[in-house]
Each structure stands twice: as C-alpha cells, then as structure tokens.
Amino acid sequence: MDNCLFCKIIKGEIPANLIYEDDLAIAFEDINPQAPVHFLVIPKEHIVSLDNVDENKKLLLGHLLLIASKLAKEKGLEEGYRVVNNCGIDGGQTVDHLHFHILGKRKMLWPPG
C-alpha cells in the first residue's frame, strides 16, 4: 500500500530500529515506547488488521507470534511480557497495517482501561 507507514518502513523509505527480518515479517522498536522494551512485529504483506484475515493467513499469524516469543527471549523478558493487538476504531488501532505490540520490563496492569 502506497500510503501505509509500516509498508514504508518495510521498504526502507522510513527509518526504524529493525530488530528482526525474514521473508515474511519484520520487527522494530516502537517510536513511542510504553514500556522499557516495546517493539512491533508485523507481516511484510499489507494486511489492514486482525479483522482482515482468514484461514489462508493462519500460518502467517502463527509465524508472527513465534517471532514475538523468540525476540522476547532475546530481549531478556524472562519475567514476562504483554502482547497486544489493537484492532479497529474501538480497539484503538492508529496504524492500519496489522501489528503485534510486545511490551516488557514493566509490571503491566489489568484491566488496561
């Protein structure tokens, strides 16, 4: 998608602190971290949100979560972490390219409010 911020990061048109890349996905640090560790895992394919996936995407979705788990280990999040997906307007999604937030090194509250 031409106008998508995260597609531009994937293409290298906007800089980001990349921490992982493979054929299907990248991960990079969030520009406005909400915890000492806060990174995003996103598919290279432009998918708007979790509301825009079907059976064909199940391997990709699993892949993204495994990347999250692997990177959390690499970042030393042995005390735990939170994985967040904001979906759509009510979910508070601000960038319309599917992404999982991984937040760690901070005690998270529940419910989030």
What is the set of active-site residues? 99
Residue with tokens 């199940």: 58
Nearer to ligand 5GP, 55 or 90 (CB): 90
Buried b (16+ CB within 10 A) or exposed e, 30-69: beeeebebbbbbbbbebbbbbeeeeeebeebeebbeebbe
Footprint of ligand 5GP on 62-101 (CB under 6 A): 86, 92-95
66 binds, among Zn ion, ligand 5GP, none (CB under 5 to 8 A by kind): none
Residues in the chain: 113
Rounded least distance, CB 54 to Zn ion, Å? 18
Q: Does 3 bind ligand 5GP (CB under 6 A)?
A: no
Contact residues for ligand 5GP, defined by CB under 6 A: 5, 14, 16, 28-32, 86, 92-95
